[in-house]
Amino acid sequence: MKKVLFTIFAVAGLLTHGALQAQEAQEDYVKFGGAVRYNIHDKSWNDDKTDPQFTWDTWRLNVDARTAGVDLSFEYRFYPDGGYHMMHHGWLGYGLTDDLYMKIGASQVPFGITSFASHSWWFQIPYYVGLEDDYDMGLKFDYTGIENLELNFAYFHQPEPAGTPGYFSRYSYDITGTADGTASMREGRQFNVRAAYNLTEGVEVGVSGQFGKTLYGENFEESESSNAYAAHVVADFGGFNFKGEYISYDFGAKDAAGNDADVIQMAAYNAPYNVASKANIWVAGLAYTIPVDFGPISSIQPYVDYSVIAKDAEGFENSEHLVPGMLITAGSIYTYVDYAMGKNNAWLGSWTNGLAAGSPDAEWESRFNINIGYYF
């Protein structure tokens, strides 16, 4: 592994040396921004009858800067209602050539539909198993030197840093162990490759591959191959936007004795739950943007997102995720009005095992949710 890292950084160093001599000087800058978001929600499974609730969902700080041609992008998030905070991303970037851009640090994993496979505030189900809008620590290259084609190559040595109050406090979902607690696990040594091609001006098709290791054992001295594959399409036509995706993954879960495990523990937002270690996912979402002139409101975008995870283990139940809603845009204020529904869905009524074995008796649960965000 040391040889692999040395080779990657050596190549990057040679490319950087050439680019330093050829790249034109760019103006330095520092920009600060952020967001404040509020949430109103009413959950069907809340037995204590405290809903509906109005909460302070998030506030965040963003810094974007450039010096000597080197870019910086950083975001840190605070969640007052949950009492935790964490880094969203933080990387240094440099244009090695006009067509090749390098990032080092915590950046978005190039896999599937980027940045989001969803239209709603709720993401799609791949996010909740670490395969949508995921961030890890490593080195990434974006290449755009072929007409209508974007290529992404990356090596991620480990997940993004955890926040506070503990290891489970992170923005994107990562492997944290086996469900029964008999084996400590983490992900690492991961390679990603993604290709996205513009068939026409408004239609993108792409494929992705993710190849890594699930580390386990007392000192993480053992490892098992982990992989995921995706094919996607994103299409704009006459005011409509469609997103479709297929994902197959195998996280290579093992228990403390080295036996295959059907369930693995993942965590984000300071809360772990169980996930099927091997499954297939189907994703589809459709949105339509309506320009309006109603006071500060400039557009309304109704949408419906649906995704389902079919688990490989015998007897495991499918998990479903259905979110009709709309996005209301008023300048830099974005309001998501969602009626999120789920069956065997961790964030929608079936926390611990919904995304793992699930239950054949599970019912559809729902959450009416309004998220108001001011971005600056």
Q: What is the 3-state secondary structure (H, E, C) of 260-299?
A: ECCEEEEEECCEEEEEECEEEEEEEEEEECEEEEECCEEE
Task: Provide the H-helix boundaries in the chain.
Answer: 2-22
pLDDT at 219 (0 to 100):
78
pLDDT of residue 218: 74
The pLDDT of residue 210 is 98
Domain ranges of the chain: 2-27+57-283+308-318
Mean pLDDT per segment of 10 residues, for the chain of length 376 residues?
49 47 69 97 80 90 98 97 95 97 98 97 98 98 97 96 92 87 84 97 97 85 92 97 98 86 94 96 98 97 98 97 98 98 96 96 96 98
pTM of the model: 0.91
- The three-state secondary structure class of 228 is strand
What is the tally of helices (H) and strands (E) in the chain? 1, 20
Pick from 340, 287, 343, 283: nearest CA to 318:
343
| Burial grade of 300 (CB within 10 A; 0-12, 13-18, 19 or more) | middle
Q: Which residues contact 153 (CB under 8 A, 6 or more apart)?
A: 110, 140, 141, 143, 192, 193
Q: Is 166 helix (H, G, I), strand (E, B) or coil?
A: coil
- The upper half-sphere exposure of residue 346, i.e. CA atoms within 13 Å in the direction of its Cβ, equals 25
Query: Is 14 strand, coil or helix?
Result: helix
Q: What would the two tokens of residue 141 be?
A: 């290259």
Q: Which of 339, 214, 346, 196 is CA-nearest to residue 273?
A: 346
Distances (CA, A) of 306 to 54, 118, 251, 325: 26, 9, 23, 12
Measure CA of the first residue to CA of the last residue in the chain; give whole Å.
Answer: 42
